[in-house]
Structure 1
């Protein structure tokens, strides 16, 4: 069993990097969807949602960078092409969404997919003794659980 330059099992870091790249793909598609919601939103809640979507895509962009840098830290290359993102993502690409409730519903669905993937990564990272990825996923999950609760409350769920 070989270890990489940060002392983690190389076979396990390869699996972690692959899972992180899949997560990265989902974040990238989600990010572009939210940009589209921000640009195209119409209706009575325009001002509130326009600002909320900007806050969300700014946060997603930070996480995209953190995930890519974690892949690099593990000694691998982050995915960096939209063709790869579309291929790997389970978050579907959304086009021309202008209705606020529809957009928020898609956001809740996307977060559900991300949180599930992050829980799987959390377990995988724990098995690999990868505290850096564990901490990242744990932070994302706890933050996003609250965010989902708030968006679901907006929807009256």
Structure 2
């Protein structure tokens, strides 16, 4: 028997969820790599804060990558593991040579905006398939990411004394 038989989901019902998770996996892989680059290359004002924050962000992305890949397996799919394949399908693009904190934060905010939109779509697909676990996984991601968007937006806002 297959895992799906035991968890009471059918393959055709979760096919769209698996496809969307494949896309999300590719996007998270590129996002992770971009965060590593920001962590390594950040300079200037805010270095100490951002260097540490980018490290925690890429650690979080790595954990999500593993969760997404494992969820694909639970739903009967096979996660891609070649970066060359991720780059073919990822909608998040690789970035390099960003050492300015505000540029890195702006890129991360744009990326979170995209990821949040995709995760909301996956919640809808998962709900249609009766896949409460994937919907819950995505809801957890949204909770964390929406808070991070709020915090990064507050961080990047000019101070009250700036006019």
- TM-score interval, normalised by the smaller of the two chains: over 0.9
In structure 2, C-alpha distance between the alignment counterparts of 1:118 and 1:84, rounded to whole Å: 21
The structure with the largest alpha-carbon Rg is 2
In structure 2, C-alpha distance between the alignment counterparts of 1:42 and 1:28, rounded to whole Å: 24
**CA offset at residue 110 of structure 1?**
0.5
The alignment partner of 2:67 has SS state of helix
Q: Give the alignment's Cα RMSD to 1 decimal.
A: 1.3
Aligned partner of 2:147 in structure 1 is 146
Aligned partner of 2:161 in structure 1 is none
**CA offset at residue 9 of structure 1?**
2.3
Aligned partner of 1:4 in structure 2 is 4
Aligned partner of 1:117 in structure 2 is 118
Aligned partner of 2:103 in structure 1 is 102
1:62 aligns with 2:63: yes
Alignment coverage as a number of residue pairs: 155
**CA offset at residue 142 of structure 1?**
1.2
* Superimposed CA distance per residue, residues 86-122 of structure 1 (whole angstroms, 9 cap, x where no aligned partner): 1111111101110100000000000011000000000
**CA offset at residue 12 of structure 1?**
2.3
**CA offset at residue 155 of structure 1?**
1.4
Unaligned runs of 5+ in 2: 159-163
Length-normalised TM-score, structure 2: 0.91
The alignment partner of 1:139 has SS state of helix
Runs of 4+ more than 6 Å apart = none
